[in-house]
Amino acid sequence: MMQTTAVVVGAGHSGLAMSRRLTERSIDHVVLERGEVADSWRTLRWPSLRLLTPNWQTRLPGHDYAGDDPDGYMPAAEVVATLTRYARLISAPVRTATTVQSVRTAPEGFEIVANGDVLRARAVVLATGACILPSIPGVADAVPPSITMLTAFSYRDPGQLPDGGVLVVGASATGVQLAGEIHRSGRPVTLAVGEHVRLPRTYRSRDIFWWLESTGLLAERYDQVDDLTRARHLPSPQLTGTPEAITTDLNTLTALGIRIVGRLGRVVDGVAQFSGSLANTCALADLKMNRFLTRADQWATDTGLDDELPPPHRFAPTRVDPRTPLELDLTSGEVTTVLWATGFGPDHSWLDIPVLDRKGRIRHDGGMVTGAPGLYLLGMPVLRTRASTYIHGAGNDSEALAGHLHCFLGGRHG
């Protein structure tokens, strides 16, 4: 049986950031990865995906973006290359092709079973990703069998779809990007829109992530956020990364010819039924966007930046056609594919420690798992701040948790 001080499960950016923090503290550890470094970006993302965060923000402990396009948006393949380089740079002790099958408590720590081998460690960091499984609503069961169903994980490009119309369900970052891409391939696209977060790509000539970071919004701590459960389950903003830095909101998609309908509620006898509250949903998203822009303007004024930036302005409200259909017959042949862009979730099914709440989520306090001293969680939305949802958030999160882990070990390790 192998013994080490700490085991990190997962070699995405979160696990690598933690590895770097443990090395800084001379804490003996190993990173167990079921695939390769950055495996989610290799196997679970579609090829045309680009980060929606700008390149300058793709920073990890001891590593800032050093390329020649700081304001661009990195394609998935470049994310893989960046993380692979980073793993090498920090000499992360990654064991690839090593699947963790169980983690349970043991005397003086934890017992980890990986590829059938048993390891003992005093601390374990779970960094297996918040977006490892597609979330598909139960209504999918009622979709007629003649319809091809895909998720963002099984989607590669429009060429794999049968001829005919496509219903994209979900209008967050994934849904709006894929609706646009599929529409450009010549297929008629209907986009079912539920609650969403509308943001412009740029505002007053700066990227929206510049504003989110500068105004301090992303630095809001988990214990200061008004409704933490809601914050942790907010849909991703309607943003895409394109070389032209275009805004991909519902008005843009409607102008392209994509049909916008309300949230998919039920499928009855092959007929998809959409919510009639699309106009209200969109008005609420517009309101929240404008509330943030007002905060941004106030911040610019307070910090004396008004003269350096173009003047404040507002974007057109989302246009909703009053004749928007409430039903779509999935047996008519008009639609041949349903693409579920309804979010993602983690997979901790291999965790043999009773730390899950009634909804199957790990109970934790800013990444310190409740009731399991020595067990840590990284890479979850709003784990410690709003930035935790994004790559650059792992810097501060891993620093705080590695510091805690170090104290937990009482300085005795190795």
Ligand X SMILES: Cc1cc2nc3c(=O)[nH]c(=O)nc-3n(C[C@H](O)[C@H](O)[C@H](O)COP(=O)(O)OP(=O)(O)OC[C@H]3O[C@@H](n4cnc5c(N)ncnc54)[C@H](O)[C@@H]3O)c2cc1C
Q: What residues are paired with 105 via a beta bridge?
A: 110
| AA letter at 182 | I
10 binds ligand X (CB under 6 A): yes
343 — alpha (psi -120 to 50), left (phi > 0) or beta? left
Q: What residues are paired with 197 via a beta bridge?
A: 237
Which is it for strands 100-106 and 109-114: parallel, antiparallel or unpaired? antiparallel
Which residue, 165 or 393, has its beta carbon nearer to ligand X?
Answer: 393
132 binds ligand X (CB under 6 A): yes
Q: What residues are paired with 267 via a beta bridge?
A: 272
Quote the least distance from Cβ 393 to ligand X, whole Å: 8
222 binds ligand X (CB under 6 A): no
Quote the least distance from Cβ 384 to ligand X, whole Å: 13
Q: Which of 35, 62, 317, 345 binds ligand X (CB under 6 A)?
A: 35
Query: What part of residues 323-362 is at the interface with ligand X (CB under 6 A)?
Result: 344, 350
Quote the least distance from Cβ 151 to ligand X, whole Å: 11
Which residue, 203 or 344, has its beta carbon nearer to ligand X?
Answer: 344
Q: Which of 6, 7, 12, 198 binds ligand X (CB under 6 A)?
A: 12
Angle between helices 76-89 and 13-24 (to 10 degrees): 20
User: Which tokens sit at 361?
Assistant: 């989520």
199/315 Cα distance (integer angstroms):
10
CB 51 within 8 A of CB 179: no
Which residue, 103 or 285, has its beta carbon nearer to ligand X?
Answer: 103
Applying CB under 6 A, the site for ligand X has a residue count of 32
Q: Pick the closest to residue 152 from 84, 221, 236 (CA basis).
A: 236
110 binds ligand X (CB under 6 A): no
Place of tokens 């740079």: 89
C-alpha separations of 307 from 227, 294, 300 in Å: 35, 17, 9
Quote the least distance from Cβ 171 to ligand X, whole Å: 14
Beta strands in 38-188 (DSSP E): 94-95, 100-106, 109-114, 117-126, 133-134, 148-151, 165-169
Which one of the spans 49-57, 155-163, 188-196, 363-371 is the region binding ligand X (CB under 6 A)?
49-57
Q: Which of 6, 32, 112, 282 binds ligand X (CB under 6 A)?
A: 32
Which residue, 84 or 277, has its beta carbon nearer to ligand X?
Answer: 84
Q: Which helix (H) or strand (E) holds 375?
A: strand 375-377
Quote the least distance from Cβ 235 to ligand X, whole Å: 12
93 binds ligand X (CB under 6 A): no
Q: Which of 11, 250, 375, 405 binds ligand X (CB under 6 A)?
A: 11
Q: Which of 338, 391, 402, 409 binds ligand X (CB under 6 A)?
A: 391
Which residue, 12 or 170, has its beta carbon nearer to ligand X?
Answer: 12
Report the interface residues with ligand X, using CB under 6 A: 9-15, 32-35, 39-40, 45, 49, 51-53, 99-100, 127-132, 174, 344, 350, 379, 390-391
